[in-house]
Structure 1
Amino acid sequence: MSNTIENLAAKLAEDTMKVMDQTGEDRLYVEVGNVLAAASQSLEEAYLTEVRVRLAERVARRFLIKKATEFKAAKEAKQAQ
């Protein structure tokens, strides 16, 4: 049963993130979580974990890209001197 919950939560989180990207509704996952809470607390908890992990990964990836870009710009500026 836990595999089923994890798989459903992951797919739902993936789909929610896509709709959030399309619509710009950055709190849509909360609304979906509320719908789930009325039906299955187990699925709601797994879903919210999946969403939070994906959101955290996005923040970390943006940070990493920014750092890499800054490093590259500094390196190019130093070489231009």
Structure 2
Amino acid sequence: MSATVDRIASKLADEALKVMDQTGNERFYVEVGDLIGSASQTLEEAFLTEVRVRLAARQAMAYIKKHKAPET
């Protein structure tokens, strides 16, 4: 993918996740992806990848924190 598509997808993912955090709508990114996909399938795929990577990272960090031994 081009650097432009990656940059735009990353920015859109950041903004979508902010809205999701503010509203509690966990599927908001799907709505945004559908909107993007009507104009550019390439951007839609890049956006969804960016969101999923960030969501997976959040889950992984929560899991690690849960299992991390307390520091002394």
1:36 has 2:51 as partner: no
Return the index of the structure with the highest Cα Rg: 1
| 1:2-81 equivalence runs, <5 A | 2-68=2-68, 71-72=69-70
Residue 41 of structure 1, CA deviation: 0.3
Q: How many residues align?
A: 72
Higher helix share: 1
Structure 2: gaps (5+ residues): none
Amino acid of the structure 1 residue aligned with 2:59: V
Amino acid of the structure 2 residue aligned with 1:57: A
Amino acid of the structure 1 residue aligned with 2:4: T
Query: TM-score scaled by structure 2?
Result: 0.94
Residue 12 of structure 1, CA deviation: 0.1
What secondary structure does 1:51 align onto?
Answer: helix
Q: Distance in 2 between matches of 1:20 and 1:53?
A: 15
What secondary structure does 1:54 align onto?
Answer: helix
Query: TM-score scaled by structure 1?
Result: 0.84
